[in-house]
Structure 1
Amino acid sequence: MHSQPTVIDVAAAAGVSRQTVSNVLNSPEIVRPETRERVERAIQELGYLPHASARRLRTRRSSTIGIRLDHLAADGISGSVLDRFLHALTEQAATRGLRVMLFTAADADDEIAQLRRLSDGADVDAFVLTSTVHDDPRIDWLWGRGIRFVAFGRPWGHLDAPHPWVDVDGQAGVRAATAHFVATAGPRVGYIGWPAGSGTGDDRRAGWASVIAEHAPAGMFVDGLLADLEIDALEGVAEGGRAARELVARTDVDAIVCASDSLALGAFLAVGDTVPVCGFDDTPVAVSLGFSSVEQQLGEVARAVLDLLALPDDATDAQAHRLVTPRLVVR
């Protein structure tokens, strides 16, 4: 059984770009007649069926956005970030006459099956993807079929990818936290982060490393200083506590910055009485226990997602990519 032809197949057969095919489907008047005829002929020969639902958000003939509801994290901390994003997205969508439909899926393959069901049935006009990963199959599936979507998360390794995305500038957030501790506690600011290879984790670590390098004593070997002040840990409260105890036993630190509030909670419980700690995400745990954290500005993220869903098809890649600056909350 042959798979359904995609926008990419039509573009290849007609010898045009994917954008041109999209223009023929959505705004045929802006396409030269000879090009339009070539694309229409390819559509007919291939039997391509355009997704009408992928265009309704722009014309406001329908108003539903689909988003997967992720499984709650075991520690219940990091999951609160998505909860707050969903709340902000739903609230702001309502002010634009839109609504949000939540669905669940066991894994990426199951989610793609749900995307197909919801788009083919015209239940949903566009999608928001969360928890994106390298070479995300959901992005390829949606993009290849011309279905409108925005990813919350950068396409690590492919930052020039043409699909629309919104992300939080984790490097800027951790840089602000580290600079604050350097100014208020001292230059030896430790860092507890995830093992190398995570796009988000590597980005956050870079913010810490840049500040430490800027304030390193003259003549000091910077790589050695960084290695002395940082320690890797898997995500989790217990891991954060273990890493913090190991770090303060190994070297003198004036403060500790962590890649997440889960790690920061562990560190705070282990050494918070003697060393100030900062996390990332500004979850209710950080608020209730009183340690500093970086707020992702999820209201701004939701606003950017909705703006990108309403972009015209001829928008440039630069217009389709948004990086939101987070806010350091000092306690």
Structure 2
Amino acid sequence: MEQQSPDLDGVGVRHRATIAEIARAADVSRQTVSNVLNAPHRVREETRRRVEQVIADTGYRPLKSAQSLRTRRSNLLAVGFQSPGAEPSPVLDVFLHALSTSAQTLGYQILLLTAGSDGAEIQAYTEAVVDYAVDGIVLTGTHTHDERIDWLRRQRLPFVTFGRPWGALGGHSWVDVDGAAGTRAATEHLARAGHTRIAFLGWPAGSGSGDDRLQGWKQACGRAGLPTRGLLRRSANTIEDGRKTCAAVLDQPRPPTAIVCVSDALAVGAWLEMRDRGLVPGRDVALIGFDDSTTASVIGLSSVAQPLPAVADACLDALRGQLGSEGPSSGRWRQVLLQPELVLRESG
């Protein structure tokens, strides 16, 4: 229910106050009210304060449609993501929530676009630009040979990616989390605790973020003089695959005393496999995941946390740096690499 506006014409009214009514109540012209809203530096301080007081008293809010016509902006941002597989994506859920919250405080709304492939996502972007005149695009889940990035660059659309380009040609704005730093910190922690055989459960080769996290494990093992041969297992990102790959490394003649995982999904599978074998994660075999999901905190799984609210804010900053121009250019590219945090719990 709308609040009743103050009596602007001598009679209480139940409708949205207009600029004309604000002007009449403040004894100024409609142009002056418009200037107070859009260019307050043009208005004398005494007049500005009087108009602002009337605006506050009436609860006036400018019509978005009128603003869009004036600024040629829809204040709408499209966020594209491809539907996850069998396991939910806690990272995507938290990121989208943070992005929506921050965007709203800046006056933007989010249009979510789901697709099953790069081609389908490109088609969704095309429709969003034509049908909704979106101001910018946030792309998630970057990968090698990413057709979406190349298409967006050719269209000269303002966009930013959550994820590095992983070999895509040319430059653009991106925000990412240093996955190698996260797994390196996890592996170094385990090495300091005395573990000399640390396994890594990763994703199939060719995954940009997966390969990045793998490098962190390799670097830490190399610096500590620890072996890696026979201690790497790759699989899809499901809990069941985590069980299988964990079983494979534990069944070796010389099993590891610690395991670092590329994701919490694999780590939860490893945790379940250990419990089925009568092993206690953290006491018998140390275990560290990646993403710091809600499940990790519930079961006591150590994990690497991504600063997702900071990622969302950096994505919005990168987009706002492009808006107002005729398109992206190298002078406005923002490339931000944020640091994750190792969260230690009972398992590691």
TM superposition score category, shorter chain reference: 0.7 to 0.9
Partner of 1:164: 173
Deviation at 1:247, TM superposition (A): 0.9
Deviation at 1:289, TM superposition (A): 1.0
Deviations, residues 35-87 of structure 1 (Å, cap 9, x unaligned): xxxxxxxxxxxxxxxxxxxxx8xx784311011354243122xx121111000
Whole-Å Cα distance in 2 between the matches of residues 60 and 117 of structure 1? 18
Q: 2:119 aligns with which of 109, 118, 123?
A: 109
Structure 1 residues 103 and 207: alpha-carbon distance in aligned structure 2, compared to 1, 3 A threshold: same
Which consecutive unaligned segments of at least 5 residues does structure 2 have?
1-67
Whole-Å Cα distance in 2 between the matches of residues 130 and 283 of structure 1? 18
In terms of Rg, which structure is larger? 2
Q: 1:243 aligns with which of 237, 242, 245?
A: 245
Whole-Å Cα distance in 2 between the matches of residues 233 and 69 of structure 1? 22
Pairing 1:39-78 to 2, within 5 Å after superposition? 61-76=73-88
Deviations, residues 163-199 of structure 1 (Å, cap 9, x unaligned): 1111111000101111111112423221111232222
Is structure 2 residue 330 aligned with structure 1 residue 320?
no
Deviations, residues 214-267 of structure 1 (Å, cap 9, x unaligned): 1117xxxxxxx2113222223211221121122122123221100111110111
Partner of 1:141: 151
Partner of 1:270: 273
Check the 8 A contact 1:196/1:202 in 2, yes or no: yes
Is structure 2 residue 202 aligned with structure 1 residue 193?
yes
Whole-Å Cα distance in 2 between the matches of residues 117 and 151 of structure 1? 19
Cα RMSD over matched residues?
A: 2.2
Partner of 2:262: 259
Check the 8 A contact 1:164/1:317 in 2, yes or no: no
Whole-Å Cα distance in 2 between the matches of residues 105 and 183 of structure 1? 44
Deviation at 1:94, TM superposition (A): 1.4
Structure of higher RCO (CA pairs closer than 8 Å, 6+ residues apart): 1
Whole-Å Cα distance in 2 between the matches of residues 277 and 318 of structure 1? 42
Partner of 2:301: 291
Which consecutive unaligned segments of at least 5 residues does structure 1 have?
1-55, 218-224
Deviation at 1:307, TM superposition (A): 0.8
SS at match of 2:230: helix
Deviation at 1:106, TM superposition (A): 3.8
Structure 1 residues 270 and 185: alpha-carbon distance in aligned structure 2, compared to 1, 3 A threshold: farther
In structure 2, give the amino acid aligned to 1:238. E
Check the 8 A contact 1:108/1:137 in 2, yes or no: yes
SS at match of 1:155: coil
TM-score w.r.t. the length of structure 1 is 0.74
Query: Aligned pairs, how many?
Result: 264
Whole-Å Cα distance in 2 between the matches of residues 74 and 253 of structure 1? 28
Whole-Å Cα distance in 2 between the matches of residues 123 and 163 of structure 1? 21
Partner of 1:311: 321
In structure 2, give the amino acid aligned to 1:93. A
Whole-Å Cα distance in 1 between the matches of residues 244 and 314 of structure 2? 38
Check the 8 A contact 1:173/1:327 in 2, yes or no: yes
Structure 1 residues 318 and 265: alpha-carbon distance in aligned structure 2, compared to 1, 3 A threshold: farther
